[in-house]
Amino acid sequence: MKLCHIGLERHVGEVAGSICPGSHDVSVAGRRAAGLSQRRRRHFALVHAFLLVEGTGKRREEQAMTFYALAGTPEQDKVAPDTMAALCEL
């Protein structure tokens, strides 16, 4: 399917190595530009979505790795370079 009528072919599905990968990732040319997560409980649902429009995917990856390092989590080792991109880059 064309994304926003600007000629970008999108794919929906996990982008391995991206920040918090999931089955609702939206990618263009193998690089994640959007994502959706949800958590459902008995009386509520929490839905979080993002769409990278400006900036660079590389900067977002660097910020996530810094956060993971400061938080002391092993997630920092799972973020692969060049797995994210903003729409302006694509």
CB 35 within 8 A of CB 27: no
Half-sphere exposure of 65 (CA within 13 A, CB side): 15
For residue 49, the SS3 value is strand
Find the catalytic residue in 3, 20, 87, 90: 20
For residue 88, indicate whether it is catalytic. no
Which pairing describes strands 31-40 and 26-28: parallel, antiparallel, or unpaired?
A: antiparallel
Catalytically annotated residues? 20
